């Protein structure tokens, strides 16, 4: 497995990250343990989660994913083989939200307790918090790094102007900077990232760990008609968002390239992202070892220029 440096953090990461949003939601604890073991066995090392996963599930309060990962760390003894990424900032109830210094300090301790570890490798601001000065947020993160609780920090869901401003604040005040960005990016959702964020990340040396690499499963080819909406818990939203003329055009291009390589559409969709100059490690999830095996093959697939051009022509946004 060819590892890549994440920004200027010194963290060496595999070219694909496992999305831990499924742990405790569509995957139970025992299966989560099997998937995490298989992920490491396949040569990958990044696991991405968040304190808020999976608060959206009825009866859940958040922290379910982190808790499962923590139990796996305790049982397996494999913490030192994982680049652990989690996030802070989305609402956790009772006014717990945002990026104030006081909340960050409380939230990181709660995450560390659930994760059963003494440090987080990549601690990310899950959302921009316009109500808290960037200086306050970044100084709080600096304190966590100094205390050894966090190794590097990243940002998620930031606009290009706000990410640039945060990087400038860090440089001006000598504070740790966001070494990574976690944006929405895939073959369907391209314009917002490519227009401004990708050039900024390349210019400033910020790593990119993008989410929805498979567009909520659409780019696997699983959803090709409205009748397919019932194939998963998120199928209705997926078909509503992506099942249109452009989406079908993308699937056709994926099918054609996949046939050339003896691969699947999902593998091609991920290989395309891994080949993008600004991308460090797309995030993808799996609920079975078969799906995980498919992801592993995707990380080894190298697309030629003609295939990349065909995919980009089919997926170009108006």
Q: Which residues are catalytic?
A: 53
Give the number of other Cβ atoms within 10 Å of residue 118's Cβ.
Answer: 9
Write out the DSSP string of 242-269: H-SHHHHHHHHHHHHHHHHHT--HHHHH
Nearest of 90, 99, 89 to residue 139 by alpha carbon: 99
* Strands 4-5 and 12-13, sheet pairing: antiparallel
Alpha-carbon gap, residue 261 to 293, rounded angstroms: 16
DSSP 157-175: S--HHHHHHHHHHHHHHT-
Q: Which two tokens stand for residue 292?
A: 């995980």
**E strand or H helix at 71:** helix 64-76
């Amino acid at each position: 497995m060819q590892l890549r440096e994440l920004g200027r953090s010194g963290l060496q990461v595999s070219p694909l990250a496992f999305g831990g949003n499924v742990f405790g939601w569509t995957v139970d604890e025992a299966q989560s343990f099997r998937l995490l073991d298989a992920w490491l066995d396949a040569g990958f090392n990044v696991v991405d989660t968040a304190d808020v996963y999976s608060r959206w599930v009825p009866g859940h309060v958040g922290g379910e994913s982190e808790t499962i990962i923590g139990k796996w760390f305790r049982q397996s003894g494999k913490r030192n083989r994982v680049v652990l990424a989690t996030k802070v900032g989305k609402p956790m109830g009772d006014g717990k939200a945002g990026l104030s210094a006081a909340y960050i300090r409380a939230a990181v301790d709660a995450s560390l307790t659930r994760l059963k570890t003494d440090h987080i490798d990549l601690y990310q601001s899950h959302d921009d918090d316009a109500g808290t000065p960037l200086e306050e947020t970044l100084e709080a993160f600096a304190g966590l790094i100094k205390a050894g609780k966090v190794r590097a920090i990243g940002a998620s869901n930031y606009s290009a102007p706000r990410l640039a401003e945060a990087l400038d604040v860090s440089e001006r005040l000598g504070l740790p900077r966001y070494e990574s960005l976690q944006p929405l990016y895939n073959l369907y959702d391209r314009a917002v990232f490519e227009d401004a964020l990708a050039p900024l990340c390349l210019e400033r040396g910020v790593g990119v760990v993008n989410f929805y690499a498979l567009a909520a499963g659409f780019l696997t080819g699983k959803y090709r008609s409205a009748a397919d909406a019932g194939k998963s818990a998120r199928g209705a939203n997926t078909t509503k968002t992506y099942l249109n003329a452009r989406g079908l055009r993308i699937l056709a291009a994926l099918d054609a390239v996949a046939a050339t390589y003896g691969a699947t559409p999902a593998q091609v969709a991920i290989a395309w992202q891994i080949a993008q100059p600004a991308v460090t490690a797309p995030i993808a999830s799996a609920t079975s070892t078969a799906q995980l095996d498919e992801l592993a093959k995707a990380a080894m697939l190298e697309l030629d220029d003609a295939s990349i051009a065909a995919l980009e022509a089919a997926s170009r946004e108006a």
